[in-house]
Structure 1
């Protein structure tokens, strides 16, 4: 069945791959970018099935206009894919507050703003699917990517709450968590700063790895797009969907280490419960 999609950040990367796959599959698309002239080839190839729109995801009026375009052109909105985003590499100490704000504004508040723009329509329709592009960096905090990880961890929490609020209304939510894919995310889209020598073994190592990794990532953007479209076709899609063997491996290892830490510190954690009549000296870390 043909769906109406709205995808943010379709000028390049996974957003572009997803836009192409959506249109090739016979769906309708509102394709957005800061500069919609970068999407002219989509209009030329797919004609009335696509409308291109200028969208700054941090601007509420711009987001509302993009959603309105979907209704005006296609009569409804089935799938919103919040894909727009970027992430630089640099140490926390050397990243300016302005850079923190810029990355968090795009990656987190952009997702919140466009989601909120679509919610009244989907609530009134009684259906819809919101697909949030997070990252493996939304599950694991990599050195050198503090603003990006802070934003993506925020997307994860926001979207989990969203799923609980809108699920009873017929609206589905899926959080996409890609690993490394062969897009320009680690290339022209990213500023890589090795920084001062004190951080060479952490941030510097990450910047060099990211530079060398570009073009060698294990993920295929076309396969990622196909997986996302498949998830959007399901009556009961997953809340979270990892993409890529590196993402699966990294999260499995990280979750196992986290579970072991929970077990190690469990007694201390549960010792903080209130116990009527318990006096001093009842704490498990105190010497017997």
Structure 2
């Protein structure tokens, strides 16, 4: 008699076998129980490398056979979590022996993970899991599903603000000059933005035009240029400060990240 049972956890397992029978001499019912302890290990180790290019995630999976026998990978699938979609860029060819993983050998697969609507304000995002179905040389089959692949979003902002100066810039005390402010919407949702030049944060160079300007709706993956007039008040190397964009719906502020310096004569 053969019994098949899927094991979903690694570690020590105990198999209890019970047999009931009749004594052929006394016709008395009897039973026998026996316990078998065995260790369950992962036949494969899977490591990930995640590369983020703009809003596109590239997940590279390295699958290594840590058993003493060859294993055949029937399917290797990345199961994305909503709202992500996954596309397999490189994979073993199902028509040849590249699916066969020898002991201590490994194969690599790359998946492109994208989403149409993505909230970049979240700290981490669950991209999905890798699922591998395999068979041994004796025909034993198994399935392995990894932990979620997480994407960190801390360094990515929904909007960025950059001050662009004319080249060459000639700044003199008491003479206004015009600069351009580039506001980029890095996310996929439209944002109702307002450009603010806060005089209380400025020193040496102040805003001599409208300090709060409604930019309007900026669609996802797009940008807008806004011209502003600045007035130098102090000679020397001065930094432009206090320039930021505000999402009027969520009141989230996006300050300029890269400092901009102007030599005032």
- TM-score range relative to shorter protein: under 0.3
Q: Look at both structures and tell me which one has the larger radius of gyration over its CA atoms.
A: 2
More helix by share: 1
TM-score normalized with structure 1 length: 0.20
**Which structure's relative contact order is higher, taking Cα pairs within 8 Å and 6+ residues apart?**
1
TM-score normalized with structure 2 length: 0.22
More strand by share: 2
